[in-house]
Amino acid sequence: MVQRQPRIAGENRIFPYNSKSVGTSFTRACSALGIEDLCFHDLRHEATSRLFEEGYDIPEVAAVTLHTSWNELKRYTQLRPESLHRQPQ
């Protein structure tokens, strides 16, 4: 998927889209699908929690989510007690 992205001269980003365009497109898609009360930022919150549930530690999650401190990161993390008990691998 990454290799199929069109390249723009002088642009280093893989997905060179304006963040406002992405948010607008997400809002339109939710509206078209009849999804209410969901914002793009909710996905970041969900992804953060899922990474912790999968066993990633704080520095690993922060590297993905780009949070700069634990205080900032924990605001977006709501772990379910049942997800904290992992089976030995």
Burial of residue 52, with CB atoms counted within 10 A of its CB: 0-12 exposed, 13-18 middle, 19 or more buried: buried
Instruction: Say how far residue 28 (Cα) sits from the centre of its chain.
Output: 19
- The predicted model scores a pTM of 0.59
Spatial distance between the Cα atoms of 72 and 51, rounded to a whole number of angstroms: 16
More confident residue, 50 or 81: 50
Distances (CA, A) of 78 to 5, 51, 81: 34, 11, 10
> Residue 29: its pLDDT value, please?
94
pLDDT digits (tens, 9 = 90+) for 23-44: 888 999 999 999 999 988 888 8
| Average pLDDT taken over every residue of the chain | 80
Kindly state the percentage of the chain with pLDDT values over 70: 84
